[in-house]
Amino acid sequence: MQVPETVDEVLDASGLQCPLPLAKTAKALNGLAAGNVLKVIATDEGSVLDFRSWAQGSGKCELLAQEISAGSDGKKRYIHYLKRT
């Protein structure tokens, strides 16, 4: 899994708990054209495994990469890159 060089849209789902990051991601993906990449930023640790299964099941997107970084508030950020298919 490699982090894509270009991102078409960013969704900040920081602070949101299950199931809201998924619900917002679904909406954001609906607005994207095929091939476009959505970057989702979440603070929920569960989102890592969530997005793996969810992307597979949705049939609408491909999970390109996931990474973890430290936010400015000291909390971890779980970042997911999804390509609209």
Partner 1 sequence: MTAGEIAAAPAQERIDQLERRVAELESRSPQGASNKATIVVLSGDMEKVMSAYIIATGAASMGMDVTLFFTFWGLGALKKQRSLKGKSLLQSMMTLMTPAGVRSLGTSKFNFGGLGPVMFGAMMRHSNVASLEEIAAVARDLGVREVACTMTMEVMGVSKDELLPSVEFGGVGLFVGEAADSKIQLYI
By CB under 8 A, name the binding residues for partner 1: 15-20, 22-23, 25-27, 54, 57-60
Catalytic residue (choose from 3, 18, 20, 49): 18
Cα separation, 11 vs 14, whole angstroms: 9
Q: Which is nearer to partner 1, 7 or 23 (CB)?
A: 23
18 is catalytic: yes
Q: Which is nearer to partner 1, 10 or 23 (CB)?
A: 23
Catalytic residue IDs: 18
